[in-house]
Amino acid sequence: MSKSLYRDFFLHIDMIVMFTLFIGIASFVIGKGLTWSLFLYFAIGLVTFMFSEYITHRFLFHIKAPKNAFLLKVLKRLHYDHHKDPNDLKLLFLPIWFSIPNLAVLSLIFFFITSTLIGTLAFSLGLIFMLLVYEWKHYVAHRPFKVKSKFGQWLKKTHILHHYKNENYWYGVSTPFIDVLFGTLKDAKEVETSQTVKDLEGRSPVHK
């Protein structure tokens, strides 16, 4: 496996920022002393990101193209252009100007519910950890990795189907099982090939 594949991921500026943020928060939380409740909050963060990933991908990234030029530009960078050129390295990562504010909002909501700062930091660690998993799985799906595990091969296959078969299915990148809950995990043989799979900007907002 070419070292450049790993270098392109781990030395990408957005990944450096997120790994640094994760290590910084983890060091603080561990320094305060680990408890079972913190592990629970961490797990809640993992699950929260899984659902946030799916909902954001399906209902935000795939919305009908807005008429506002600025919003259109934002969506083009976040997802529309990624569908036009799925393997463009510059478009594989969520920009930190999008991911950090979104993780911060989820963390603030958790804090308002629990009123625990250290618990919220543990929750945010779960969010960031799952974001890093998402970024890695997404990266592997679009790069020439030879995935060995059956599960990893399945993850890669479902995402490729989303990009080349039909954009209305297989929204989960790191956690496709959530597609089961929403009815968007399909047998590829039962799904028609979409004519707009590479043109989200020009499609109508139909979610089957």
Cβ neighbors of 166 (< 8 A, separation 6 or more) are 191, 192, 193, 194, 197
Q: ∠89-79-176 over CA atoms, to 5°?
A: 90
Report the pLDDT value the prediction gives residue 204, as an integer from 0 to 100. 54
The span from the CA of 163 to the CA of 144, in Å, is 16
Total H helices, total E strands in the chain: 9, 0
Report the pLDDT value the prediction gives residue 1, as an integer from 0 to 100. 55
Cβ neighbors of 63 (< 8 A, separation 6 or more) are 75, 205
DSSP state of 78: I
**pLDDT tens across 63-82, in order?**
999 999 999 999 999 999 99
Report the pLDDT value the prediction gives residue 206, as an integer from 0 to 100. 44
Q: What is the model's pTM?
A: 0.93
Helix (H) or strand (E) holding 83: helix 81-84
In degrees to the nearest 10, what's the CA dihedral of 48, 146, 157, 81? 70
192 phi and psi angles, rounded to 5 deg:
-75, 150
Residue 101: CB atoms within 10 A of its CB come to: 10
Give the domain ranges of the chain.
3-148
- Which residues in the chain show pLDDT less than 50? 205-208
Report the pLDDT value the prediction gives residue 3, as an integer from 0 to 100. 82
Of residues 171, 172, 164, 173, the one with CA closest to residue 192: 164
Of residues 200, 145, 176, 159, the one with CA closest to residue 4: 145
